[in-house]
Amino acid sequence: MKDILTYKGFIGSVHFSAEDKVFHGKVEGIDDLITFEGSTVDELINAFHEEVDDYIRLCRERGKEPLKSYKGSFNVRISPELHKKAVERAKTLGITLNKLIQRAVEKETIGKD
């Protein structure tokens, strides 16, 4: 089960508030804060689509790229034991630790949609 919505390349995280009896979400992967909500699933989806469309229009008007850009580098925190095993595996394969991690990320992300 995925608690996300997708639309035009954007991802929206989805949550439910039992107290408020409403679904709510946030557009992920952008530099701005955009939220949406609905009392039903259909209302939630429609609100997400409307917010994305409005955001795209606003970015176009401002000459701004809507989706966040990524540098291609990030820090990963893992246990010392897993770190040791990863280094050992990389050495066994004759590749760098970065290449091992890149392969793992590719395996988990490419063609998984």
Region 99-107: mean pLDDT is 94
Could you give the angle at which helices 97-109 and 80-93 cross, rounded to 10 degrees? 100
pLDDT at 28 over 70: yes
- Residue 35, H or E segment: strand 35-38
User: pLDDT at position 68, please?
Assistant: 83
| CA 36 – CA 96 distance, rounded (Å) | 43
Mean pLDDT score, 10-21: 94
Residue 40 has pLDDT above 60, yes or no: yes
Residue whose pair of structure tokens reads 């609905």 in the numeric block: 38
What is the value of pTM for the model shown? 0.71
| pLDDT tier for residue 70 given thresholds of 50, 70 and 90 | confident
pLDDT of residue 62: 94
pLDDT at 21 > cutoff 90: yes
